[in-house]
């Protein structure tokens, strides 16, 4: 084979080798891109419904404890919630020289708004019934007709203060109106509530 042909073959082989070396990185699979980070929510954590469970003391005149109340949100949460409340309050009639407490249970609809920082404000409207003693005759005070029920409606406005991630303090007035109140008890009463709240 003549020298010009050998020289041409050498040049072609050199060019082909250089082209292969240059194209090699393009043939390799590209490195996997790092996983994209999920954007953080504005609050740092996903929002969850604020269903309240509150328990505390009731006071008719603000100077002494006259009863207790428990309430729990069953539906909704956050801005609007619905639930049940139960309370026992010493505002029944005097039966055999003993004041019999009144027991109340009702359903309520509540709206809660965040104020500033750890403060929140809740308004509630409720409807239910109350079981109390109506002593028409002191001698037969333990008879079946000494107990009666009455329809009650209520409105409440309570202020909440967060003292932890889930716990807080809550307090405010509860205005109740009874259709047939016990003897010596006003049809409309203002009861003050103060206690603990969990959400």
Please identify, in words, the CATH class of the domain defined by 53-198.
mainly beta
pLDDT over 90 (residue 131): no
What is the chain's mean pLDDT, rounded?
75
| Assigned token pair, 193 | 């509530």
d(CA 36, CA 120): 37
Q: What is the pTM of this model?
A: 0.66
pLDDT tens figures, 16-67? 555 455 545 444 445 554 544 444 444 444 455 678 899 999 998 766 788 9
pLDDT tens figures, 133-168? 665 555 554 544 467 788 999 999 999 999 988 899
Domain boundaries, the chain: 53-198
Distance set, CA 47 to CA 41, 51, 109, 151, 174 (Å): 9, 12, 21, 38, 29
Q: How many CB atoms lie within 10 A of CB 18?
A: 10
d(CA 80, CA 123): 10
């Amino acid at each position: 084979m003549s020298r010009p042909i050998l020289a041409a073959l050498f040049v072609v082989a050199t060019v082909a080798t250089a082209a292969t070396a240059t194209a090699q990185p393009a043939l390799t699979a590209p490195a996997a891109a790092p996983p994209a980070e999920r954007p953080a929510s504005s609050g740092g954590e996903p929002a969850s419904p604020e269903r309240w469970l509150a328990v505390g003391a009731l006071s008719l005149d603000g100077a002494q404890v006259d009863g207790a109340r428990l309430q729990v949100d069953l539906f909704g949460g956050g801005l609007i919630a619905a639930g049940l409340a139960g309370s026992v309050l010493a505002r029944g009639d005097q039966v055999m020289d003993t004041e019999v407490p009144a027991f109340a249970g009702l359903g309520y609809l509540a709206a809660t708004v965040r104020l500033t920082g750890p403060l929140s404000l809740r308004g509630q409207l409720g409807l239910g019934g109350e079981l109390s003693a109506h002593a028409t005759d002191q001698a037969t005070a333990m008879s079946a007709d000494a107990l009666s029920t009455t329809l009650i409606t209520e409105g409440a406005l309570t202020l909440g203060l967060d003292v932890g991630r889930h716990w807080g303090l809550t307090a405010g007035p509860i205005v109740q109106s009874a259709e047939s109140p016990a003897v010596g008890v006003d049809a409309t009463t203002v009861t003050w509530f103060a206690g603990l709240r969990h959400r």
